[in-house]
Amino acid sequence: MEFTTVLFYIFALLLIVSGLKVITSRNPVASALFLVLAFFNAAAIWMLLEAEFLAILLVLVYVGAVMVLFLFVVMMLDIDLDVLHRDFRRFVPMATVVGAIIVIETALILWHGYGATTAALHDTAAGAQAGWSNTRLIGKVIYTDYIFAFEIAGLVLLVAIIAAISLTTRQAKDNKRQKVSDQVRVRRQDRVRLVKMAAEKSDPPAAAADDSASGKNS
């Protein structure tokens, strides 16, 4: 057995164990840290497969940005673990059904699309023989054979970002929104109100005369 094969089995075993700890750990921070470990092991496996671009991309994007954001969110939120554990059994049937559907769909996609993936890699055989790098080969496959799938994935991510922002800011109490239509239809009567007030009156003449008389007597 070659040394690279031994490393592959070690990294694969660590990846499986860390993935199981992500979903079985009771502490959300520990789950996030185990997910970081899973990403590192996946990157190591890609390095063994000579996919350096994907390995570096996984470490920089997911470990360096996404997981740091997850850790900040998990550590800053006041999560009541007792409530989560109390309602866990109620969501197990629905989570099982959803998980089974995802696994079946993923299996069907891989089974149906494996031939297309193999053909796409055969199309890049000439580039590999010409000495192209893995990054250039991946770019050729993504932007030629899988351009529509790549654009649909970007559109789905954009919709997810917009939906997350709208759900977050919709119920905020101190959130102020600007209604352009109301500003366009504004009238002078709605903005300015003229108030009529009585003019201030001066002191009565009798009081002024008394004050002058008292000054002369003194």
More confident residue, 194 or 127: 194
Q: Kindly state the tokens that stand for 187.
A: 């009238």
Average pLDDT (25-48) is: 86
- As a whole number, the mean pLDDT across the chain is 76
Please, are residues 35 and 118 in contact by the beta-carbon 8 Å criterion? no
Q: Kindly state the tokens that stand for 14.
A: 């660590």
Annotated domain spans of the chain: 1-80
pLDDT tens column, 79-133 = 666 666 676 777 788 888 988 898 898 888 777 766 555 554 555 566 666 677 7
- pTM for the predicted model, two decimal places: 0.53
What is the model's pLDDT at position 17? 92
Exposed, middle or buried by CB within 10 Å (0-12, 13-18, 19+), for 71?
A: middle
C-alpha–C-alpha distance, residues 132 and 115, integer Å: 23
Render 43-106 in DSSP notation, one character per residue. HHHHHHTT-HHHHHHIIIIIIIIIHHHHHHHHHHS---HHHHHHTHHHHHHHHHHHHHHHHHHH
What is the model's pLDDT at position 179? 76
In the DSSP assignment, the letter for residue 189 is H
Average pLDDT (142-166) is: 84
- Domain spanning 1-80: which CATH class is it, in words? mainly alpha
What is the model's pLDDT at position 80? 63
Contacts with 137 (C-beta within 8 Å, 6 or more apart), sequence order: 124, 127, 128
Contacts with 8 (C-beta within 8 Å, 6 or more apart), sequence order: 45, 48
16 pLDDT band (50/70/90 cuts)?
very high
